[in-house]
Amino acid sequence: MQRAHSEYLSLAAATNNAAPQETHQPPMNELDLGALLVSRVCHDLISPVAAISNGLEILADEEDAEMRAHAMRLIEHSVGQAKARLLFARQAFGAMGSAGAEIDLREVGEVAAEFFRAGKAKLEWHVPAIAVDKEIIRVLLNLAALGADCIPRGGLLTVKVETPRGAVVISVVAKGLKANLATDIKEGLALKTPSEDLTGRTIAPFVTALLAKKLGGAVAYAHEGDTVRFDVRFDRKPG
């Protein structure tokens, strides 16, 4: 992820230098940013890895056939979860090839489906069968994950991509009971989170906003009743 860290760092530095009175961003070094991204990935992996460990302990100590079978099912399920989260993190945060590389949205949809399968939000994926720049993919997946975070009790997560006249338009709509758009997500998307307040949770909206800005877009958000919505438009694909 070293190259991705450097990209985000240069964007953060440009944001600090360009308008410090608006973004309130103290200087951020590469180690800080890298640590936060790693923290986010580790947070997502702790639960399935712990479950795998528990299952292995049962296998080591338990002789009952039914309990051992239960432990194997737990391990298999948790391995699937860990794999899905790693693949998602690779596309959402990783470098994924050379600059300008494009990724088929069908492949991205498969990764997203596996990632959200174990969550409470039901994913509806409405995207064309085209390839788009890997950095647009990062924005898309991070917004989808943020949408799921906004409906912790579950609900419907609708991800849509359209390409009018060569542009790429992304919309993510999260609808569910007690939907909430947290202040730290809004601050991150507006690039107004102070560096000392960035955590493994708040780094995702901040990085998403940095990427959108690099691509010439800005994430719009809205919350009304049981629905939270994110929208972003990129007028042309980066060359």
Q: Does some domain include residue 183?
A: yes
Q: What is the pLDDT of residue 11?
A: 52
Residue 169: other Cβ atoms inside 10 A: 15
At 112-169, the pLDDT tens digits run: 999 999 889 999 999 999 999 999 999 999 999 999 999 999 999 999 999 998 899 9
Query: In terms of pLDDT, which residue wins out, 105 or 194?
Result: 105
Residue 239 lies in a domain: no
pLDDT digits over 66-111, tens only?
A: 999 999 999 999 999 999 999 999 888 876 545 568 899 999 999 9
Q: What is the pLDDT of residues 15-41, one digit of tens each?
A: 444 433 344 444 455 556 677 778 878
Rounded to an integer, what distance in angstroms lies between the CA atom of residue 61 and that of residue 67?
A: 10
Residue 223 has pLDDT above 70, yes or no: yes
131 occurs within a structural domain: yes
Provide the residue range defining the domain that includes 50.
2-234
The CATH number of the domain where 63 resides is what? Answer: 3.30.565.10
Q: How many structural domains compose the chain?
A: 1
Separation CA 111–CA 108 (nearest Å): 5
**Residue 217 half-sphere exposure, CB side, CA atoms within 13 Å?**
25
Residue 191 gets which letter from DSSP? Answer: T
Does residue 230 lie in a domain region?
yes
Which is it for strands 102-104 and 131-133: parallel, antiparallel or unpaired?
antiparallel
133: its two tokens: 């720049």
Q: Is 30 inside a domain boundary?
A: yes
Closest CA to 92 of 215, 203, 171: 203
By residue count, the chain amounts to 239
* 59 falls within a domain: yes
Kindly report the three-state secondary structure assignment for every residue of 106-160. HHHHHHHHHHHHCCCEEEEEECCCCEEEHHHHHHHHHHHHHHHHCCCCCEEEEEE
137 CB contacts (<8 Å, ≥6 apart)?
91, 92, 96, 103, 105, 108
pTM for the full predicted model: 0.80
- Determine, yes or no, domain membership for 217: yes
